[in-house]
């Protein structure tokens, strides 16, 4: 059964330009190369919620767990941490539509 990888974070204000260059140029393509499919990206404009939510789809839970336990995943995640704060990640069953 497909699963969603849900990631949320806030962009560090002093790193916005570098953040966008990294996420668009390296982070999202890197995650896609590991086997996840990007299906949603949301930005919060108002309210007390994480600024960014990204949803990726994986074919199954064991495969998703292998990826998030890989050295490649850890490397991408560590680089992301230089640009964001309040990072959260979780795997959930894919129920279709928006999930938080």
Q: Each residue of 46-96: pLDDT tens digit? A: 888 999 999 999 999 999 999 999 999 999 999 999 999 999 999 998 786
Averaged pLDDT for residues 24-34: 95
| Architecture, CATH, for domain 3-92 | 2-Layer Sandwich (3.30)
> Which residues 6+ apart lie within 8 Å of 46 measured at CB?
none
Question: What is the signed CA dihedral for 54, 60, 62, 63, rounded to 10 degrees?
Answer: -70
What is this structure's pTM? 0.87
């Amino acid at each position: 059964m497909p699963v969603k990888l849900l990631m949320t974070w806030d962009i560090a204000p002093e790193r916005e330009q570098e953040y966008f260059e990294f996420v668009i140029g390296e982070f999202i393509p890197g995650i896609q190369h590991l086997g996840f499919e990007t299906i949603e990206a949301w930005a919060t404009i108002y309210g007390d919620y994480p600024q960014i939510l990204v949803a990726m789809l994986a074919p199954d839970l064991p495969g998703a767990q292998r990826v998030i336990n890989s050295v490649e995943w850890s490397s991408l995640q560590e680089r992301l941490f230089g640009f964001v704060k309040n990072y959260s990640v979780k795997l959930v069953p894919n129920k279709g539509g928006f999930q938080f």
